[in-house]
Amino acid sequence: MHTMLRFSMKNFRFVIFIAFLVWPSDKASCIAKQHKYWRHRKASVSMLETDANSPTTFNVLRYGAKGDGIADDTKAFEEAWAAACGVEGSTVVVPSGSVFLVKPVSFSGPNCQSNIVFQLDGKIIAPKSSGAWGSGLLQWIDFTKLKGITIRGAGIIDGQGSVWWKDDIPVEESDANNSTEDTIYADAAGGMPSTKPTALRFYGSSNVIVTGITIQNSPQTHLKFDDCTGVQVFSMSISSPGDSPNTDGIHLQNSKNVIIHSTSLACGDDCVSIQTGCSGVYIHNVRCGPGHGISIGGLGKDGTKACVSNITVRDSSLQNTMTGVRIKTWQGGSGSVQGVMFSNIQVSGVETPIMIDQYYCDGHKCQNKTSAVDVSGISYQFIKGTYTSKPVHFACSDSMACTGVTLENINLTPLQEKNQLKEPFCWHTFGELRTSTTPPITCLQKGGPSNKQVHNNGDSC
């Protein structure tokens, strides 16, 4: 017994001795690893601090922004912009981890330097009080007359539109007995102004990029480009409820050379709305829904001339939308829509996937008129999926028939066979079926009308 005890104690002392020899080595290794980690982290922080203190970087916090979602940070944003405006290639930083309450604001040129970046990683919210909006404004955040402007980051622009939407009526779903003014400018709840603003607008600018950010819950249109050239929108998202009135996703007007791709659009109106003066628009890999679809128009309202050309929409999907790909024009207009291709479009539960409507009316009583926007050279390729009401609706003008309408590889089936669904509809629509279609679109007429009206020079684009 004593012998065993002496042996055990001897072994124990030996283990303790070895542990003392090994421990400093392990501790040194651990400390070395920690030192390496913190040295690396310190270097990373130093790099960030260097960037933040760069003479070309203007952080709104340095100009007095609180970022608590309560204090008015508008002045800080304006001052940061004013400082960045004079420096070419500058960056305005809206940092993450903060919420900035910003009233209607304009970031304007034309005296600003070029290639300014608006780095949005935090969240910007619109005021809910009516006093911030005066008698009503058309824009909330406005970028005007700039050359090379980029908005990027992982941040959010939140229009807090629910205070404007309550009890409002969407234009396209309004009661025909209501006047236009009552419908479009119906007062929102809480005494908000009747005129509802677009969340983010670019006007008269070139080389515009919007990427990464989220725009949500705009009182009206989320993102608008007016009189811009060289526009890129990608890898960003737009989101508002499907029943939010008149909340278009992206609105294009008088803009040229526009690319929109890799973007998710969910709203209460057109996911993309292409208006007069647009050409060279390329949309691909876009997800739309809920919403009213991807639309050209409405064009020619109140007898105006509209010109739209060279539009491509492809490799995109639409789910649970009112229409899929649509062209809509008012009676009485002039001008033309030409050179349009819709290709490789997947629809799911869409009411009417393919539509041309030259009798567009927003729900009010619209008078029949003779003149119309000329629609020609429209191609539909590989449009597939399910519909809930009607697969194809071509309603062209009596006096200005649609021409050069081609369809190939169209495969549209009803979402539920048991429902009573409508057949494809064509009126004064001429073109060619290049393949068989599902369902058969036998209403499309071959060739062209014998009495095709020719525009005079005043109506041509």
Active site residues: 269, 292
Length of the chain: 461
Cβ-contact 456, 424 below 8 angstroms: no
Token pair of 103 as six digits:
């009233």
Our measurement of the distance from residue 282's CA atom to the centroid of its chain's CA atoms, rounded to an integer in Å, reads 14
For the chain, state the CA radius of gyration: 30
The CB-side HSE value for 321 (13 A sphere, CA atoms) comes to 33
Strand, coil or helix: what is 342?
Answer: strand
Token pair of 58 as six digits:
């203007």
The C-alpha atoms of residue 229 and residue 226 are separated, in whole angstroms, by 9
The C-alpha atoms of residue 157 and residue 195 are separated, in whole angstroms, by 20
**Amino acid letter at 318?**
L
Q: What is the DSSP letter of 85?
A: H
Residue keyed to tokens 């930083």: 93
Token pair of 133 as six digits:
């909006």
Closest of 227, 257, 399 to residue 329, by C-alpha: 399
User: Could you give the C-alpha distances from 185 to 136, 140, 170, 182, 189, in angstroms and in order?
Assistant: 10, 17, 10, 6, 12
What is the per-residue DSSP string for 226-282? ES-EEEEEES-EEE--TTSTT--SEEEES-EEEEEEEEEEE-SS-SEEE-TTEEEEE
* Strand 229-234 to 250-253 pairing: unpaired
Residue keyed to tokens 């003479």: 55
User: Could you give the C-alpha distances from 55 to 76, 326, 400, in angstroms and in order?
Assistant: 17, 48, 60
What is the sign, positive or negative, of the torsion defined by CA atoms of 167, 172, 175, 180?
Answer: positive
| Secondary structure of 338-386 in HEC code, one letter for each residue | EEEEEEEEEEEEECEEEEEECCCCCCCCCCCCCCCCEEEEEEEEEEEEE
